A and B are shown apart, each in its own frame.
Chain A
Amino acid sequence: MNDVVRNYTWGNLKRRRRSVHHRSRGLAKFLLPVFAVMIVGYLWLTRDNYMPNEFIPADSGVEIYMLNPVDKRTDIFSSRVFSLAPEGSEAHGVVNQLAGELPLPEWLLNNICAGPFHVSAASADHLGDAVIMTRMTRVGTLTSRLASFAPQVHVEYTGGLRLRYIPDASLYYAVRGRTLLVSMSRNRLVYALTLHPTNALEASQYRQGVLAATQADLFCRLGPEAFPWTPPVFAQMETALRVGSDTVHLTTNGTLSPAFTEHYTPFLATLTPQPLPMPLDGFLTTSVAANMDLPALLTHLSESLPALAAAAEMLAEPQPEDMTAELIEDMQTLLQQALRSTGSRMRFAWSDLDPYEMMPAPLISATFDINTYDVIALFERVAPAPEVSSGVDLAPRLDEEHMLAYAPFVGGEAIEPAITLYANGMLVSSSANLAREQLRTAPLTETYPQDGNLFLRIQPHPMATAIVDVAREFAASGLLRAHTEPSLEAAAAPWLDAVEAIDSVVLFAYGDNGQLHADLTLTMHDASDTPNAATPLEAADEE
């Protein structure tokens, strides 16, 4: 055997090659036009030749804007906020469903919902008739057109509107350009498709909505029709929702309807932001600063809230001259007369519940702006205490060391209503001991960093724990309706677990000449403090 390198040829290579080239050129000659036609057809079929606002009625009561909801789903449901829904609750089921496996492949949904996602409904009462509108990619558009050939989809020509109907889901849809419109209401969908341009939402408004949705996770615009009351509270209201990993933030701006303000709360129309007093400690605490003093505020509020009428009347009663010389023999009179002179700023805090009191009692404090000399003048009119305390005792006693008036009332230290001087005002407390404690620390005289009319903070976990502690006392005594001690524990445990992760819920609100603004923020504790809080997506992964 030798090592010579051998070259072999097989037929006429050159010729053969030429022959292949020749054949492919022929194929290309055939395919290229087809391909070109297909591309043109694809581009034609998936062209974007409709503005979405053309399908949105200008008089929609409810509009919801969202961008890329499928993508955003991952971000939203990775928030720990959604782990708050107690297991077994309806909310838990809904969250799991939304965070779980989707009915269609995710790539497809991403192509179907590839941009702004919009929901419009005539009113909040008719959300079932809502029209959902999404912007699709070309792939999504083509897929939706091809889906028309699926046996599950029925085609309705409807005078050329080319509606599609999926009977299994009771859904109608239509495709216009790269816009997909879906509704359970055929009429509503037809209405959207045949909307006269003059009745459609203006493009600028739509763009504003989309812009707002880019800055939030969800943007909602409500018109007067959204509110079932007559007259409607708001002429328009806009709400943006942002979901962070540990927070939920809801910002609302509303324009009061003229009819509502005129009939019910004219004072709201003139409300402007005011320096708010820093809130007191408590698991429910609120600061209020209005443009008017408390008696006037109550009078205004009672116009829309009749339950406050009695209180308003009590404080509004003119004080006869000779009454200022009369001795004050009960705590109600002392409080009533003090409140008549209060200013526009007040605070209220619910700091605890004493489950062991004679009747479980909340520990409540409130402060009011008032000239302290007025309070001292009232204290000077307090009648000498009766020698014998018997029955329900509301005769005020003076603790001169603390400049505090209190009534023994009933029960123990948690049920001793008290009034004392506090900073530049007055502190009213359900417990004299609580009032004395508050006097031992420096009074809160600062103002909240931002001017407003209302600050409200709730710390759900301590509040729920205190409430359950009280419920336990009633259950132990056989007095809790529909619950024994074990059934109460079983019912309370998931809710206590759920709220354990929440640090606070804060509402900050103000009025600005007919516009109402409100920020609501739910904040969770640090994740390291609540190790058991798995997000819905994590839970879905585990499953």
Chain B
Amino acid sequence: MKRVALIIVPVLCWCTMADALEAGAAKVDITGPIGAPLSGYGARMGRSSTGVHDPIWSRALYLDDGTTSLFLVGVDLIGVMPELRERVLELMPDIVPPENVFLSATHTHSAQGGMTRTLPIRFVSGRYTPDLLEQTAQGIADSMRNAYDKRTRAALGYATGAQEGLSVNRRDRDGPIDPQVGVILVEDADGAPISIVTNFAAHPTSISGDSLFLYSADYPGFYYLEMEALLGPECVPIFLNGALGNQTTGNPEQKSGWERTESIGRLLARRAHDIADTIMFGDVTLRTAHTEAQLPGTMLDILLPEHTLLQALEINDLLISFFPGEACVELALEMRRRALARGYDAHFSVGLSTNHLMYFVPRHLYPQSSYESTSSFFGPGMADWFYTHFEGMMHRDAPTVGDENAEQEEPPPVIQTVEIANGLVVDLAGGPHDRGRARGAAFNAAIQRGYQNRVVAPVENGDWLPTDGMLAYMPPFIDTTALGLPLLGMQSRDLLRGISLDLIKEMEGMAEGARLPFDGFWLLQHAPLYDRVEDKTQLFSTPLCTMFAVVGDRAHGAELLVGRNLDWPLPEEAIVTRVYPEQGSAFMQVGFTWNAGVFTAMNEHGVVLCVERVELETTTVPEKAPIEFLLRDIIQNATDYEQALQTLQQATHIRGVHVLVAGHVENRPEAAVVEFGETVSVRQPENGLLLGVTPDHPTAPDATRKRYTLVFEALSDVQGIDQDTAQALLTQNADTDAYNALAAPWNKDTRHSVLFRPGEQRMYVSLPTSEHTPGTFLATPLFGDLEHE
């Protein structure tokens, strides 16, 4: 028996040992040479460093639970550039698979740059220095090798706690912060700390003034010092920055200069140390996950890749998601909510891991001209993209809602297309993103063509490039399009302000379906506006549209008739879309394959909206969303005429357009023209007739006044204006001069002619034939089949 025991006990011990955690940690000073450029602050303009305030470190923790081995590495650099990661993986010990190397930068703005060859980034990171890249990669690899060499039996635990005052939202002082400090403590068999890992979100950008050219790890450097003082010099503190996009350091001790930097670092260390005191140790299971994910399209494709590595690490019930760039805090908070909903105990977000794909902002922050928003290049849906991919890597299942066995109702098809004379009718149903994607995919060739012709071409030709500034002085051998397009995209964020998230989602879908970057699709949407501002060619002297409403007794056979022609100088493919959204009102509009805004539309409540540009010479880029996108939101959300009118009147940033709004108030027909000039004014019908522009309008173009004079003369003597009269007026071919001069209601630029009967939720659409004569009017009900007249 004793013999048996002598055999069994060592075997059991061996088995236990085999599954026990092994850990080792090491740090290597990777400070670059004095004279090398530092990376981070644009004010440095790529100039060289002049000294060292405190060293730059690579700190590595090796973990092996017997099944999974990995390196968790924190480096005091601004980011992990692809060139650096690639070289580290080549130099590192061949111990763990590359996907189990979690390499993250602390994002100090005062460590060596010069490690990227990409030219535009050199403006921030300085002269490309291959030797410096090699030296830094070697230092990081050495830290990993040393950590592995120092591996020993270990225990690991983690905990989270709250901080107060250490971080603030740098864009919105009342905005969200991540109050969490996450801590992982690793001890050896004797209870001596091997390493402590702290996760906290704030930009290490506390250095300025005459210290701008000194090497420093910023506040993480003081965190290391304080933690080593608290846990002993053998412990290797590691700092993993969080979703720091819009987070910066607070100043709870009201210090300045280096004292402030030191204060934050030491306070953070003490707080983390306090949290570490609460840690319980137990068995450890490590699980890693990774995916090589295809990124959404971007216009900054000269800098940003098509794919990126995403990594996640689970340590028992702790989930860590590694973001390849600077995520705003909202993304971390949402990821945490989702992780906890799946039953994880805790969640850390770690930023600047494996790559530096710039900033990631939530959808609602995308329509801003903030630094974070304009440095985001993958569209407003990037947060959803992360949630989808990180959730896909979670080993815990999503919580189930309701009865799983209940039969799911078959959803209606997202898109249905019916060919009509000279155009298409497209029915769209479902959520905004799905609708958009279906439409984008259905018309992707036309949208791509529009993008190439109306966005890329004017940038390539220099028509849309500035006449001053850096781009204007580029030598001719430089392809300014590659820089000009993303810059235009950045500058166009403001135009998204005031647009509903629902519509933004729909446009994201359209861009995705058409395989365009969102910013490119968005530029296509307001390409005509940009053209008007930049260069007043014939395109911009063209008046838009004719519109009139006949109200009450004057409308023979109906209480309300609205007639409208859209004049548009560019050749287009016309479509009628009938949209049945999950939320808001069903509506139909007449427009083009690519346009997400509204020029001519009516919803299920009989609200009609039409727009006409009147003051062409004063066109400027509005400070917020252009009119057609506001109309698009109104048509989906307004339940009656008054609501639509009130919402319109609030758009005080709009200039130079008239909007005709019509509908019913308690079954009473109403119509008005909202004139957006220096002020917003509302004009009511006179004698039951309302014209989009009065023939004596002081600032309207001549052709517009002539056209409305003709309309007025045609209708003024008719007491009972019926549908036939209105349709005949809209499609009458005036003499050639008026036709060519756009002075006739149906002229050379007319792209559609529509008569609305809001009471019946029906519109009659005539699209131009190939000879540009008016097509037959098609009766288009909002619900049900189409009827040719």
Contacts and interface: CB of A to CB of B under 8 A. Distances in A.
Nearest to B41: A390
A477 B477 contact: no
B129 A481 contact: no
Contact of A358 (B43, B122, B301): B122
A392 B123 CA distance: 12
Nearest to A387: B210
Of the candidates A411, A476, A480, the one having the most CB atoms from chain B within 10 angstroms of its own CB is A411
B209 interface: yes
A359 interface: yes
A306 interface: no
Interface residues of A, number: 29
B126 interface: yes
A414 interface: yes
B540 interface: no
A478 B117 CA distance: 12
Interface stretch (B379-387, B404-412, B478-486): B478-486
A387 B211 CA distance: 10
Given A393-B47, A479-B482, A481-B476, A412 B118 contact: no
A358 to B, nearest CB: 4
B47 A477 contact: no
Contacts of B302: 477-479
A359 B118 CA distance: 10
A408 interface: yes
Nearest to A392: B45
| SS class, residues of chain A in contact with chain B | loop
Nearest to A358: B46
A59 interface: no
Interface string B33-45: 0010100000111
B224 interface: no
Nearest to A478: B302
B127 A357 contact: yes
Interface string A422-457: 000000000000000000000000000000000000
A389 B209 CA distance: 8
Contacts of B127: 354, 356-358, 411-414
Interface in A397-433: 408-414
B120 interface: yes
A196 B24 CA distance: 105
Nearest to B47: A408
B108 interface: no
Contacts of A412: 37, 46-48, 126-127
Of the candidates B45, B48, B118, B301, the one having the most CB atoms from chain A within 10 angstroms of its own CB is B45
A348 to B, nearest CB: 20
A410 B42 CA distance: 11
B689 interface: no
Interface string B85-123: 000000000000000000000000000000001111011
| SS class, residues of chain B in contact with chain A | loop
B464 interface: no
Interface in A470-484: 471, 473-474, 476-482
Of the candidates B37, B128, B129, B301, the one having the most CB atoms from chain A within 10 angstroms of its own CB is B128
Contact of A476 (B37, B44, B117, B210): B117
Contacts of A408: 47
B684 to A, nearest CB: 56
Contacts of A354: 127
Contacts of A393: 45, 47
A388 interface: yes
Contacts of A388: 209-210, 212
A391 interface: yes
Interface string B201-227: 000000001101100000000000000
Given A390-B43, A391-B45, A411-B46, A477 B212 contact: no
A480 B46 contact: no
A466 to B, nearest CB: 15
Contacts of A390: 43-44, 212
A473 B482 CA distance: 15
Contacts of A477: 117-120, 302
Contacts of A356: 117, 127-130
A409 B44 CA distance: 10
B126 A473 contact: no
A390 B210 CA distance: 9
Contacts of B210: 387-388
A168 to B, nearest CB: 45
Contacts of B48: 412-413
Nearest to A361: B127
A331 to B, nearest CB: 14
A479 B479 contact: yes
A389 B212 contact: yes
B477 A391 contact: no
Contacts of A478: 301-302, 479, 482
A481 B483 CA distance: 12
Given A388-B212, A392-B45, A481 B477 contact: yes
B119 A359 contact: yes
Nearest to A475: B479
Interface in A343-373: 354, 356-359
Contacts of A482: 479
A483 B123 CA distance: 22
B128 A479 contact: no
A124 to B, nearest CB: 28
A484 to B, nearest CB: 11
A358 B129 contact: no
Nearest to A408: B47
Nearest to A411: B46
Contacts of A389: 47, 212-213
Of the candidates A357, A471, A478, the one having the most CB atoms from chain B within 10 angstroms of its own CB is A478
Interface in B319-360: none
Contact of B123 (A358, A391, A481): A358
Of the candidates A357, A393, A477, A482, the one having the most CB atoms from chain B within 10 angstroms of its own CB is A477
Contacts of A409: 45
Interface string A180-197: 000000000000000000
A187 to B, nearest CB: 43
A374 to B, nearest CB: 30
Contacts of A481: 476-479
A146 B478 CA distance: 62
A410 B212 contact: no
Contacts of A358: 37, 45-46, 122-123, 126-127
Contacts of A359: 119, 122-123
Interface in B155-213: 209-210, 212-213
24 contacts: A356-B127, A356-B128, A358-B45, A358-B123, A358-B126, A359-B119, A387-B210, A388-B212, A390-B212, A391-B43, A391-B45, A393-B47, A410-B45, A412-B37, A413-B35, A414-B127, A473-B117, A473-B119, A474-B119, A476-B119, A478-B302, A479-B302, A481-B477, A481-B478
Given A356-B127, A480-B477, A480-B479, 16 more contacts: A356-B117, A356-B130, A358-B37, A358-B45, A387-B210, A388-B212, A390-B212, A391-B45, A393-B47, A410-B45, A411-B45, A411-B47, A412-B48, A474-B478, A477-B118, A477-B302
Interface of B: 35, 37, 43-48, 117-120, 122-123, 126-130, 209-210, 212-213, 301-302, 476-479, 482-483
Of all A-B residue pairs in the complex, the 7 with the closest CB atoms, nearest first, are A478-B302, A412-B127, A358-B46, A410-B45, A477-B119, A356-B128, A481-B479
